[in-house]
Chains A and B, each alone.
Chain A
Amino acid sequence: QKEVEQNSGPLSVPEGAIASLNCTYSDRVSQSFFWYRQYSGKSPELIMSIYSNGDKEDGRFTAQLNKASQYVSLLIRDSQPSDSATYLCAVKEYSGGGADGLTFGKGTHLIIQP
């Protein structure tokens, strides 16, 4: 049974600080990793994807992947109140055909305090 674990929070961060969100996964053959942001009452929207070990930066967001430790994280720099949302970590096992769905963690509720 594939599992994706996240701290549910809430994680409270002052405005302008760095928010650090963490995720661990159980399936060693997982190959693709995603962070989604979900505002209350809305559907998930893709923030970042990462496929290889190391860091990937996109604007204020940095995703970090360590496959040996089965760990993926998301850093949000210069946090803004609009970043307040639930952040979902998702993983996909490599199947070649791309036919599998994603396995999601339960999400971390992030609150940016003005």
Chain B
Amino acid sequence: SAVISQKPSRDICQRGTSLTIQCQVDSQVTMMFWYRQQPGQSLTLIATANQGSEATYESGFVIDKFPISRPNLTFSTLTVSNMSPEDSSIYLCSVGGAPANTQYFGPGTRLTVL
């Protein structure tokens, strides 16, 4: 499976600011996915990022709040904009792999908003 890294691994931010999370993969992948895991909860898909096109957002998530970039086949960023304490979560990127439809996750970014 691909090796996935994320930066930063954790951050503490002030309300109203924005944070950009980076996801780097060691091989070219068509799709990258961004998930959120709120404290004590399971994973929720935020959006799917395909290189060269606009990201596709799940219900409840909007581009203004979570803009995503996908400049090439090995890299993506997720920005959490105008943060509030409710945005405190772990943000994970993932990529597809074998066997079919499997997803592998990066180490995550633990975000705390004060």
Chain A residues with CB under 8 Å of chain B are 31-32, 34, 42-46, 49, 51, 88, 90, 92, 98-107
Contacts and interface: CB of A to CB of B under 8 A. Distances in A.
Interface in B63-114: 90, 92, 94, 96, 99-108
A101 B41 contact: no
Contacts of B92: 43-44
B19 interface: no
A92 B94 CA distance: 14
B101 A92 contact: yes
Contact of A101 (B42, B48, B99, B107): B48
Contacts of A102: 43, 45, 103
A101 B101 contact: no
Nearest to A4: B42
19 contacts: A31-B101, A32-B100, A32-B102, A42-B107, A42-B108, A43-B92, A46-B103, A49-B99, A51-B99, A88-B42, A98-B96, A99-B50, A99-B56, A100-B48, A101-B48, A101-B103, A104-B43, A105-B42, A106-B42
Contacts of A107: 42
Contacts, number: 58
B106 A43 contact: yes
Contacts of B102: 32, 34, 46, 49
B43 A44 contact: yes
B102 to A, nearest CB: 6
Contacts of A103: 45
Contacts of A90: 43
A102 B99 CA distance: 14
A102 B37 CA distance: 13
